[in-house]
Amino acid sequence: MKFNPLPWLFILLLLALSFWARRHLMEEQHLVFFCEAGGVSLACKTHWLLEKVFYASYAVGYVTLLLGGLALLARSSLLGQGAALIGSAGLVLNNTEYAAIGFLLGLLVLARAQLEQYRAKDRAGQ
């Protein structure tokens, strides 16, 4: 069986995008000052949205934890990938408490699903 790198690449891509957003949209001082002074631009709107979603509430962490738990109970690789994707963004963008648990649960479900696929292909080949 060939290894399916696509879910893992999506997780790494979103992780890189989250690092970029944190560095260039959340921690850039001149952008923060411009937006707080009443600046209206796409960057300011994105900054405001990221601040409300990731910094002001724990919604991302709760959603990640819920998806990770559901993925573990249902053994669904799709839910596991969702938990890992949302959890990776939550880990980078200061929503770490619950996002870390959901992220790890999602990774475990993804790894288990790929191992089960490998074993099924191996049994069919024998």
Let me know: does 84 contact 72? Beta carbons within 8 Å. no
Scored b (16 or more CB within 10 A) or e, 88-116 reads bbbbbbebeebbbbbbebbbbbbeebbee
Q: Is the pLDDT of residue 106 over 60?
A: yes
Tokens of 90: 């939550």
Q: Give the pLDDT confidence of 46-101 residue by residue, as tens digits.
A: 878 877 777 777 788 899 999 999 999 999 989 999 999 999 988 888 778 889 99
| Residue 15 or residue 44, greater confidence | 15
Q: What is the pLDDT of residue 71?
A: 94
Let me know: does 75 contact 112? Beta carbons within 8 Å. yes
